């Protein structure tokens, strides 16, 4: 083999990677562009629904970073969503903060809670970690109920009279939701494509071997948890601002199970899976609840079928069988 052939092969080997990066970027920017364009053709009902789906998909994207890429299953993630929601809601309702300042405080509250929680919870793993997250999540929920005089408990409180008039506009709500979702989507993409993302996947596959290679797995998992909690908090803060309601039900365990189902349905360990799973689950519940009061039976049946025929989730199966370059 001549010396000239070596750089030629290197160049040809680099082209697929560059092409793959281009396809990945085009896919994600195209998805954002499609969501932006959709607001001009959606009916009023679906316009509001898609805005809500995007906020919840941002929450699911944060959960996916922890579960899908790092391999840590949580049943207490609603506490980060609630931290963002209450950090924003309480600061606006009682302290007179503006919408942006309230949003920033909500995200900071979620980041701080995730960091503090991670210092203790990440000393466990597997089922023990799952139980610890559930216990902390329930403790957070009960704390909100205990301070009922401030939080107003399950009844919650309305922010509509404390927010700028611009946030009443459905178009503003839609575009703010799009910005929050886009930020979480791109953060996920950057992390997944970075060296940190590769380490997180290695931890998911075999933490002991990753540790033996010299990586500080505890620090990597803590960072993943903090980022995941911050994204969940951003979603909670956005939900409070855009839909003008703050309530304890969003801290209950059911709202920790939802993102797990959304991620599993869309495809754990895929960047676009959370949006697809959230949208499908949202409309599945919305449509079937109009048919029958036993709509959860229908939802459960659909989930069973998906698990049988799409064990990796929809986008996970698409990546495995059709499009291997999907992140």
pLDDT computed for residue 8 by the predictor: 39
Antiparallel, parallel or unpaired: β 157-158 and 245-246: antiparallel
What pLDDT shows up at residue 16?
47
What's the average model confidence in pLDDT over 8-29? 64
DSSP assigned state of 152: -
What is the domain extent for residue 198?
Answer: 24-252
In this prediction, residue 207 carries a pLDDT of: 93
In a domain, 257, yes or no: no
pLDDT of residue 299: 84
DSSP E strand boundaries for 57-201: 157-158
Give the pLDDT mean for 203-217.
94
Q: Is residue 216 part of a domain?
A: yes
Distance (Å, whole) CA 240 – CA 84: 9
Asked if 250 and 81 count as a contact pair (C-beta separation under 8 A), the reply is yes
Q: Is 123 helix (H, G, I), strand (E, B) or coil?
A: coil
Tens digits of per-residue pLDDT, 82-130? Answer: 999 999 999 999 999 999 999 999 999 999 999 999 999 999 988 999 9
Q: How far apart are CA 245 and CA 238, in angstroms?
A: 11
pLDDT over 70 for what percent of the chain? Answer: 94
42 CB-near residues (< 8 Å, 6+ apart): 50
**Do the domain assignments include residue 110?**
yes
164 belongs to a structural domain? yes
154 in a domain, yes or no? yes
The DSSP 8-state label assigned to residue 42 in this structure reads S
Which pLDDT does position 19 carry in this prediction? Answer: 53
Confidence at residue 21, expressed as pLDDT on a 0 to 100 scale:
82
CB 113 within 8 A of CB 79: yes
Query: What percent of the chain is predicted at pLDDT more than 90?
Result: 78
Say what the pLDDT of residue 274 is.
96
Binning the chain into helix, strand and coil, the percentages to the nearest 5 are 80, 0, 20
Mean pLDDT value across the chain: 91
Spatial distance between the Cα atoms of 123 and 108, rounded to a whole number of angstroms: 23
Using 50, 70 and 90 to split pLDDT, how confident is the model at 7? very low
Query: Stretch 255-279: mean pLDDT, rounded?
Result: 95
d(CA 266, CA 145): 33
Take residue 107 and report the two structure tokens written for it: 């995200």
Residues 183-202, mean pLDDT to the nearest whole number: 95
CB-based contact 236:105 (threshold 8 Å): no
Q: What is the pLDDT of residue 290?
A: 85
Please report the pLDDT score of residue 289 as a whole number. 86
Assigned domain for 310 exists: no
Quick check: is 64 in a domain? yes
Please report the pLDDT score of residue 291 as a whole number: 87
Q: What is the pLDDT of residue 188?
A: 96
pLDDT of 4 > 60? The answer is: no
pLDDT category, 15, cuts 50, 70, 90?
very low
- Split at pLDDT 50, 70, 90, the class of 152 is very high
Q: Distance between CA atoms of 284 and 119, rounded to whole angstroms?
A: 38
Whether residue 312 lies inside any domain: the answer is: no
pTM: 0.92
Is the model's pLDDT at 14 over the cut of 50? no
Tell me how many domains the chain contains: 1
Q: What's the pLDDT at 2?
A: 44
The Cα 133–Cα 128 span in angstroms is: 9
Q: How many CA atoms lie within 13 A of 186 on its CB side?
A: 12
């Amino acid at each position: 083999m001549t010396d000239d052939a070596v750089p030629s092969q290197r160049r040809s080997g680099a082209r697929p990677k560059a092409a793959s990066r281009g396809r990945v970027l085009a896919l994600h920017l195209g998805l954002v562009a499609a969501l932006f364009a959709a607001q001009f053709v959606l009916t009023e009902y679906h316009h509001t629904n898609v805005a809500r789906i995007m906020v919840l998909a941002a929450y699911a994207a944060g959960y996916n970073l922890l579960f899908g890429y790092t391999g840590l299953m949580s049943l207490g993630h609603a506490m980060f969503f609630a931290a963002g929601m209450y950090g924003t809601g309480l600061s606006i309702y009682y302290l007179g903060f503006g919408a942006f300042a309230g949003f920033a405080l909500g995200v900071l509250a979620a980041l701080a809670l995730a960091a503090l929680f991670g210092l203790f919870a990440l000393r466990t793993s597997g089922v023990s970690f799952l139980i610890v997250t559930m216990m902390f999540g329930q403790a957070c929920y009960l704390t909100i109920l205990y301070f009922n005089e401030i939080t107003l408990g399950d009844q919650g409180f309305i922010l509509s009279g404390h927010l700028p008039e611009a946030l009443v506009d459905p178009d503003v709500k839609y575009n703010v939701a799009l910005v929050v979702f886009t930020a979480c989507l791109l953060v996920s993409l950057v992390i997944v494509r970075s060296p940190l993302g590769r380490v997180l996947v290695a931890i998911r596959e075999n933490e002991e071997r990753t540790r033996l290679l010299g990586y500080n797995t505890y620090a990597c998992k803590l960072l993943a948890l903090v980022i995941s909690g911050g994204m969940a908090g951003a979603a909670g803060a956005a939900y409070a601002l855009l839909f003008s309601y703050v309530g304890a039900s969003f801290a209950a365990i059911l709202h920790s199970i939802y993102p797990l189902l959304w991620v599993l349905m869309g495809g754990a360990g895929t960047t676009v899976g959370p949006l697809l799973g959230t949208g499908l689950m949202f409309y599945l519940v919305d449509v079937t609840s109009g048919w029958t009061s036993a709509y959860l039976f229908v939802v459960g049946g659909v989930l069973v079928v998906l698990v049988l025929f799409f064990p990796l989730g929809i986008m996970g199966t698409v990546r495995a069988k059709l499009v291997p370059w999907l992140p």
